[in-house]
Chain A
Amino acid sequence: MHSFKKCLVSLLVFCLILSTFSAVIIYIFLNTESAPYQDIVLRNKLAGTIDTLLLGSSEGQVAFKSTLIDEELGVKSYNLCGSACPPSGIKALLEEEIDRNPLKTVIIDIGSFLHYDYTDSVSEGEIKVIPRLSNNSKKLKYMFENVWINNYSYLYATYMNNGISTLKNLIFGSYIPVVTGKTEMNLITTDEEAAVKDLSLNNTEILKNYVQDKTTDEKDFFGKIELKNYELLKEMIKMCKSRNIQVVLVFIPATESRIWTNGNFETEKEFYYSFAKDYNCIYLDFNLMKEKGKYLSDKTSFKDHFHLSESGSKVFTKCLCNVLIKIRSGEDISDMFYDSYDEAIKHFEYYEIYQSMLKEQN
């Protein structure tokens, strides 16, 4: 009995010290000047004023410039996109804002929405969403519903690391505050980053790999749709429709080389057009935008195959705003987009080069 008591006491002492230390560090991360905390504070400040919400993952986080949207459209927008944000997180964030703001439009970056793979995940996206939820009960509820038990150690490690980083930033005064009035998360993309080697089409070895990797299997798209995500998307649209909020599904442009390699874009496009029709929302696929190569060149407008650079995102945002203005005024936008990927590809900047490589391969 004596041994048992001693074991119990030592275990309790250990747990107490560990939990106290962890609680302090994680509190610092969740409740002081970390980026997610600042985001919550800013959203609370702007609550009741936001009429346009931008949702999605890192592609949207980079691509949507909300200050530009505000200027061009005369709205008050907020970019709620986040790196690796899973569909469950997007819905949770929408639920937070939908009732406390006079939303008129919700723009969703749809690119990777349906394909978010829960089985292949270390719950990284879910772990990133939790600190962005505004209260502790919502955080805990989301955690228990969406983070696998096997990933709790990763969650703990992530928050401890983030807490220590936040503490260092506080001590050394190096934290970057979210700039009041501007709603971008502090993700900086530069033109230098766009000059990534494998986007440069001077490299013939890489081009050859693209040609060899070309897939045309339709099942590759449908096979990867997660039913859970599909249901979440329908629920979000239903939520918005019940409040007369217009939903715009946006496919943020990818590089020509990415589109060239993956033959499923056409299938995906047809799927979303049909979906948008059924659920009465707008679908805009900016890979089909006419003169895309002129405005969004692979070499300067992208930092990787899916993420726009700083300059690219400004151009894209302006294009998006132009389209939305035309839709708002009832104009026909069909002449701004190609009807199919086959047609769009023929107008790619590097179409001739790809064609000659295909011929060589065959």
Chain B
Amino acid sequence: MSLTSTYFIIFMLILIPVYYLVPKKVQWCVLLAASLIFYCFGGWTNLFYVIFTSLTAFASTVIMDKLSDEQKAYLKENKESLTKEQKKSYKEAVKKKRKAYMLAAVILNIALLCFFKFLTPVNSILEAKSFNTLNVIIPLGISYYTLQTVGYIVDVYWNNVKAEKNYFKVLLFVSFFPQVTQGPISDFKQLSAELFTEHELTYKNYSWGFQRLIWGFFKKMVIANLMLPYVKDLFENYNTYSGLTLFIGIFVVMVQLYADFSGYMDIVCGACEMLGIRLAENFNRPFFSKSLSEFWRRWHITLGAWFKKYVFFTVATSRFANSLSVKVKNKFGTDAGEKAVSTVALLAIWFSIGVWHSVNLPFILWGLLNGIIMIISVWLEPVYATVKNKLHINDKSKVWKLFQMARTFTLVSALEVFSDAGALKDGTGYLLQIFKSAMNVPKSFTQIFPYVENKTYFVMIFVGLLFIFIISLINRKKNVRFYFNKLPMIIRAIILVGLVCANFAFGMTEMMRNGGDFLYAQF
């Protein structure tokens, strides 16, 4: 079920009253039923994979918890009779068992994810060799809920959270409908506190949620969808455009992606807010970032946080990293030792992120390039500090901050071209064409913005982006909805009606023509 379809609107219109009318103790059951219905819209066979993932998570976490509880009970009972070594070896044995269950569950789920990730390239090879391809449909949202579930399993292993003893609550955690297609990738502790708490209908939740939902639709249906044909055209025909058009195009691509993905986030967060549930945020004004690492702490926040918690720290605290750190420390000093560990961990994390997006060269290269640039920044930090000192650059000045933002935005947008172009040669071709056609000066406004034939659409995009920028500035101090809700109800209603009409007037036609799929749903 697409979030921008009539079915979703009807779905929410039914869900919200039912959710608040049922006894509060069973509100989560309503969410579970709604999530399963939502998921079945994409084909009931998809449910098999969600159930498999939730079952493996449930079984492994319950067993790990049971082993922990047994250990505690045994050690308490035999506190006086066991020696220190006996206690240690007993604990090691239990830890080993717990690790085995954890690894089994994680490997099973990651293997399933890898199977689907590798399905497309394998099918391409089979097709090229005239064999029958594997006719398997990739389950909806598997990349997202697998990571979320693996995080839960590992958190139980690390004793960060107690295992949930009710299988259906685990199933809800895995399949919760607003986030199953594109995240956010939630922590069990945080999400379960929201899902399994009793919720009262409050005017603030309802109105703020509704406003955010409408705003999300506007970002996706009007801004992102209207920009999409331009973005597609740029990649398909980059050979025909001037360097300036292509250079501006890299920013347009990035902004379009932001409008699409953050629009989705606003829709799901708004829908959840109306149910009294707070989801983790995935965006925090990313284009105001002053460095690449800051950007990835503000863009797709939950993905970065997941990889940092479960990949970065795992690699950084591994035996290999420790021995590397010691070797480098002995040779080049403590600082170098720490940076060597960060280097390895960053490479691992960014390679994984690239592969998570897609098992093809452009995405892997995109991931590695991001990692390499961050690694270089880590190693050259003292050099930057020296240069800034020598040039008397005040890094607290507004000009310097603006420069950093512009630099980061350009870098991120240029790197994004690799992943968005679809093929490596197209990504590199696009970037090279900027320089090849640099002398090809556009003679008119429409040559710079080829899609401006429809002036109304261009104005709509411009106005929409201006709104996003202004709202981002306001959000620095306080949530813009705080100010919005101070307006009289009639004015708020008129503004929201205007947004709804704009969604239909501009967004619906483009959606029907070019498809309304969210870009991050492809992962």
Co-complex (A, B): yes
Q: Mark B1-25, 1 if CB is under 8 A from A, else 0.
A: 0000111011000000000000000
CB distance from B257 to the nearest CB of A (A): 24
CB distance from A244 to the nearest CB of B (A): 43
Do residues B7 and A157 form an inter-chain contact, with CB atoms below 8 A? no
Kindly state the separation between the CA atoms of A220 and B5 in the bound complex, as whole angstroms.
32
Identify which of B279-287, B351-359, B392-400, B504-512 touches chain A: B504-512
| Residues of A with C-beta under 8 A to B508 | 153-154, 156-158
Kindly state the separation between the CA atoms of A22 and B492 in the bound complex, as whole angstroms.
17
Cβ-based interface call for A355 (8 A): no
Do residues B497 and A14 form an inter-chain contact, with CB atoms below 8 A? yes
Do residues B512 and A122 form an inter-chain contact, with CB atoms below 8 A? yes
Do residues A7 and B206 form an inter-chain contact, with CB atoms below 8 A? yes
| Residues of A with C-beta under 8 A to B9 | 153
Cβ-based interface call for A164 (8 A): yes
Chain B interface, >50% SS class: helix
**Nearest B residue (CB) for A19:** B497
| Residues of A with C-beta under 8 A to B492 | 10
* A151-B6 contact in complex given A17-B493, A157-B509, A161-B509, C-beta closer than 8 Å: yes
Cβ-based interface call for B500 (8 A): yes
CB distance from B202 to the nearest CB of A (A): 5
* A150-B494 contact in complex given A6-B203, A7-B203, A156-B504, C-beta closer than 8 Å: no
Do residues B201 and A3 form an inter-chain contact, with CB atoms below 8 A? yes
| Residues of A with C-beta under 8 A to B500 | 18
Kindly state the separation between the CA atoms of A122 and B5 in the bound complex, as whole angstroms.
12
Cβ-based interface call for B383 (8 A): no
Do residues A3 and B494 form an inter-chain contact, with CB atoms below 8 A? no
**Nearest B residue (CB) for A159:** B504
Kindly state the separation between the CA atoms of A164 and B505 in the bound complex, as whole angstroms.
9
**Nearest B residue (CB) for A25:** B501
Kindly state the separation between the CA atoms of A22 and B504 in the bound complex, as whole angstroms.
11
CB distance from B68 to the nearest CB of A (A): 42
Partner of B493, one of A4, A10, A160, A164: A10
Q: Mark B487-523, 1 if CB is under 8 A from A, else 0.
A: 0011011101100110011011100100000000000
Kindly state the separation between the CA atoms of A156 and B503 in the bound complex, as whole angstroms.
11
* A3-B200 contact in complex given A156-B504, A164-B505, C-beta closer than 8 Å: yes
**Nearest B residue (CB) for A152:** B6
Cβ-based interface call for A27 (8 A): no
Cβ-based interface call for B360 (8 A): no
Kindly state the separation between the CA atoms of A154 and B489 in the bound complex, as whole angstroms.
28
Kindly state the separation between the CA atoms of A284 and B166 in the bound complex, as whole angstroms.
71
Partner of A154, one of B10, B494, B497, B512: B512
Do residues B509 and A7 form an inter-chain contact, with CB atoms below 8 A? no
Partner of B504, one of A3, A150, A151, A160: A160
Partner of A153, one of B6, B200, B207, B494: B6
Do residues B493 and A14 form an inter-chain contact, with CB atoms below 8 A? yes
Partner of B501, one of A10, A150, A160: A160
CB distance from A146 to the nearest CB of B (A): 16
Considering the complex, which residues of chain A in the window 141-169 have a beta carbon less than 8 Å from any beta carbon of chain B? 149-154, 156-158, 160-161, 164
Q: Mark B186-230, 1 if CB is under 8 A from A, else 0.
A: 000000000000001111001100000000000000000000000
Give the A interface residue count (CB, 8 A).
25
| Residues of B with C-beta under 8 A to A17 | 490, 493-494, 497
CB distance from B37 to the nearest CB of A (A): 15
Kindly state the separation between the CA atoms of A149 and B206 in the bound complex, as whole angstroms.
26
Cβ-based interface call for A170 (8 A): no
Do residues B490 and A13 form an inter-chain contact, with CB atoms below 8 A? yes
Do residues B5 and A150 form an inter-chain contact, with CB atoms below 8 A? yes
CB distance from B406 to the nearest CB of A (A): 38
Partner of B6, one of A14, A22, A150, A164: A150
Considering the complex, which residues of chain A in the window 179-201 have a beta carbon less than 8 Å from any beta carbon of chain B? none
| Residues of B with C-beta under 8 A to A6 | 203
Kindly state the separation between the CA atoms of A13 and B207 in the bound complex, as whole angstroms.
12
| Residues of A with C-beta under 8 A to B207 | 7, 10
Chain B residues touching A, range: 20 to 34
Do residues B201 and A4 form an inter-chain contact, with CB atoms below 8 A? yes
Q: Mark A319-355, 1 if CB is under 8 A from B, else 0.
A: 0000000000000000000000000000000000000
| Residues of B with C-beta under 8 A to A7 | 201, 203, 206-207
| Residues of B with C-beta under 8 A to A22 | 501
Kindly state the separation between the CA atoms of A161 and B507 in the bound complex, as whole angstroms.
11
Do residues B497 and A18 form an inter-chain contact, with CB atoms below 8 A? yes
| Residues of B with C-beta under 8 A to A153 | 5-6, 9, 504, 508
CB distance from A224 to the nearest CB of B (A): 22
CB distance from A36 to the nearest CB of B (A): 18
Do residues B497 and A3 form an inter-chain contact, with CB atoms below 8 A? no
Do residues B202 and A21 form an inter-chain contact, with CB atoms below 8 A? no
CB distance from A1 to the nearest CB of B (A): 10
Most chain B CB inside 10 Å of its own CB: which residue of A14, A150, A158: A14
Considering the complex, which residues of chain B in the window 429-457 have a beta carbon less than 8 Å from any beta carbon of chain A? none
Do residues B6 and A160 form an inter-chain contact, with CB atoms below 8 A? no
Kindly state the separation between the CA atoms of A117 and B45 in the bound complex, as whole angstroms.
27
* A161-B489 contact in complex given A14-B497, A150-B5, A154-B512, C-beta closer than 8 Å: no
Partner of A10, one of B489, B497, B504: B489
Kindly state the separation between the CA atoms of A151 and B492 in the bound complex, as whole angstroms.
28
Kindly state the separation between the CA atoms of A348 and B197 in the bound complex, as whole angstroms.
76
Kindly state the separation between the CA atoms of A183 and B509 in the bound complex, as whole angstroms.
29
Kindly state the separation between the CA atoms of A122 and B497 in the bound complex, as whole angstroms.
25
**Nearest B residue (CB) for A122:** B512
**Nearest B residue (CB) for A13:** B493
* A3-B509 contact in complex given A10-B207, A17-B497, C-beta closer than 8 Å: no
CB distance from B106 to the nearest CB of A (A): 39
| Residues of B with C-beta under 8 A to A164 | 505
**Nearest B residue (CB) for A12:** B493
Considering the complex, which residues of chain A in the window 217-258 have a beta carbon less than 8 Å from any beta carbon of chain B? none
Kindly state the separation between the CA atoms of A7 and B204 in the bound complex, as whole angstroms.
9
Considering the complex, which residues of chain A in the window 2-33 have a beta carbon less than 8 Å from any beta carbon of chain B? 3-4, 6-7, 9-10, 13-14, 17-18, 21-22
| Residues of A with C-beta under 8 A to B206 | 3, 7, 10
Kindly state the separation between the CA atoms of A23 and B201 in the bound complex, as whole angstroms.
31
Partner of A160, one of B201, B496, B505: B505
CB distance from B2 to the nearest CB of A (A): 9
CB distance from A18 to the nearest CB of B (A): 5
Kindly state the separation between the CA atoms of A250 and B10 in the bound complex, as whole angstroms.
43
| Residues of B with C-beta under 8 A to A13 | 489-490, 493
CB distance from B195 to the nearest CB of A (A): 21
Kindly state the separation between the CA atoms of A6 and B208 in the bound complex, as whole angstroms.
13
**Nearest A residue (CB) for B10:** A149
CB distance from A78 to the nearest CB of B (A): 30
**Nearest A residue (CB) for B5:** A150
* A149-B512 contact in complex given A13-B490, A161-B505, C-beta closer than 8 Å: no
CB distance from B227 to the nearest CB of A (A): 18
| Residues of A with C-beta under 8 A to B201 | 3-4, 7
**Nearest A residue (CB) for B504:** A157
CB distance from B270 to the nearest CB of A (A): 14
| Residues of A with C-beta under 8 A to B202 | 3
Kindly state the separation between the CA atoms of A157 and B496 in the bound complex, as whole angstroms.
16
| Residues of B with C-beta under 8 A to A157 | 504-505, 507-509
CB distance from A159 to the nearest CB of B (A): 9
Kindly state the separation between the CA atoms of A91 and B140 in the bound complex, as whole angstroms.
41
CB distance from B9 to the nearest CB of A (A): 7
CB distance from A256 to the nearest CB of B (A): 30
| Residues of B with C-beta under 8 A to A160 | 501, 504-505
Kindly state the separation between the CA atoms of A149 and B496 in the bound complex, as whole angstroms.
24
Q: Which 10 A-B pairs have the closest CB atoms?
A: A157-B508, A157-B504, A6-B203, A153-B6, A7-B206, A3-B203, A14-B493, A18-B497, A13-B493, A17-B497
- 7 inter-chain pairs at a CB distance below 8 angstroms, sorted by A residue, are A10-B206, A14-B493, A17-B497, A21-B501, A122-B512, A150-B7, A151-B6
